[in-house]
Amino acid sequence: MPSSKADANPTKFRRSGGILLHPSSIWGDYGIGELGQNTFKWIEFLKQAGCGLWQVLPLGPTGYGDSPYQSFSSFAGNPNLISLELLFQEGLLDRRDFDQMPDFSPERVDFGKLIPWKANLLNRAYQHFRQHRFPDLQDEFAQFCTAQAEWLEDFALFMALKQAHQGRTWMEWEEPYRQRSPEAIQKFAQRNQTMIDSVRFQQFLFFRQWSALRTAAHEAGIRIIGDVPIFVAQDSCDVWCYPQLFKLNQRGYPRVIAGVPPDYFSPIGQRWGNPIYNWKEHHHSHFDWWKRRFKHTLNQVDFIRIDHFRGFCACWEIPAHLPTAEKGRWVKSPGSRLFRHLKTELGENLPFIAEDLGVITEDVIRLRENFQLPGMKVLQFAFDDHNPRNPFLPHNFSTRCVVYTGTHDNDTTLGWYISLDAPIRAAVKRYLPWIDQDPAWQMIQYAWASVAVFALAPLQDFLRLGSEARFNYPGKIGQYWSWRATPDLLSGQLAAQIAQLNQQYNRQSFEA
């Protein structure tokens, strides 16, 4: 369970290596990776491989496009990750509940099939809980609801209202609900208490299972890198509860939205659609929402990758009516003031990784350096400009950085290498003369051999998979966020190869 206070002594950065894999990509029979037996096996694999790090993406409930970066809440957990197998073992489900299970693919998450089926089973689990009491669970559940009331009450109400409105965005609800009229909210809660309690119970199950996994990871010498997106989804409990913290019109829609100008990923930029912060209100509240958000996340993970770190210096604001991100403007953000507040709240050594990719200016570098945060280096970005001073080339690294072969937003390393045009491929081969023999593994070795404090690669690269295993393509909607590993891919031989890599380059687990 998450505690009410963040760890006052966050884990220190030390030379280590690990694997990027979202829990949804774990293998299993129920349509999506779950926080059950197979994820414990994954932790055991990491231990055998000598890894000290497991990196995940945001763990919140996914909304539009099934993206973990478009969540219904910055505080809640994703109920789709709850282990049905563990619920069955505890008596919260019985075999008959699984009779209508869809025919799920072992290689892809089919969110259209998964979400309604799993929601039905989780509601059944809550009904079993109510009918059969489970005294020990009742006490745990009551304690959880009390400890997490600050965010849980609003989230349960938000999701119940969403369900009552057939999933429509909160901006489309009747005005009393949009405006959070106390009288309307109270009447709704009285009529829909069971629905609200079911949402609470699902959050209890998620955090209970995640806490057990994190404990197992720590016992195996593994620390977890989580992820905090700088922006939140417009259709989220955060915006519904705190509209004053965002630049919205009177009906609740954003006046300006977030994105990035044309870049490596897209010639027309990326139009994310997230609302932009009203930083004056955050300052007036002493950044209370941010402090609560980071403390809550650090009760689930050990390090936090801050997505789109440059947005804490300036955000690319796009007028909400424009269809692309090309026409926007940079608007300054109070990053230094925010991080000073976070140091007071969380301690001197912030366990943050700055995702400092994209259009990086001197003020972004100063902000990162002033708070001594490691930035990110992505090897796939190292060769495009044929420049020996390219900051993504390993000979230009400092120890205060985290190196990746690629991230969840990149093609797999094998897919990337195969698709390179001739001049860039020639530049890669000059730097890595043997890359043709084994492109993914050669890139991994160069990452692990570097001076970067952490070295990470997606599991797809360790498995030497091509573009068919790409996890996401920024700015595109489609069959993304859905790739899953199958158990036959994780062998003892692969674990031994990775363990040798970690040993050879002195990348240790956190128990050593």
- For the annotated catalytic residues, the residue numbers are 307, 355, 409
Q: Count CA atoms closer than 13 A to 449's CA, side-chain side.
A: 11
Distance CA 329, CA 315 (A): 8
Handedness of CA 473, 474, 479, 481 (dihedral sign): positive
**Helix (H), strand (E), coil (C) string for 361-391:** CHHHHHHHHHCCCCEEEEHHHCCCCCCCCCC
Nearest to 218 by CA among 116, 303, 337, 306: 303
Which amino acid, residue 19? I
Nearest to 205 by CA among 291, 292, 118, 100: 118
* Beta strand pairing call for 223-229 and 53-55: parallel
Nearest to 246 by CA among 290, 287, 284, 278: 278
Neighbours of 174 (CB within 10 A): 11
Neighbours of 250 (CB within 10 A): 6
**91: left (phi > 0), else alpha (psi -120 to 50), else beta?**
left
Helices (H), 312-373: 335-346, 362-370
Distance CA 495, CA 49 (A): 4
Distance CA 273, CA 233 (A): 8
- For residue 254, the cross-strand partners are 248
- For residue 447, the cross-strand partners are none
Q: Which helix (H) or strand (E) holds 317?
A: strand 314-319
Q: Cα angle at 268 between 265 and 272, to 5 degrees? A: 75
Task: Indicate the SS3 state at residue 48.
Answer: helix
Question: Do 484 and 106 form a contact (C-beta atoms < 8 A)?
Answer: yes
CB contact set of 12 (below 8 Å; sequence gap of 6+)? 349
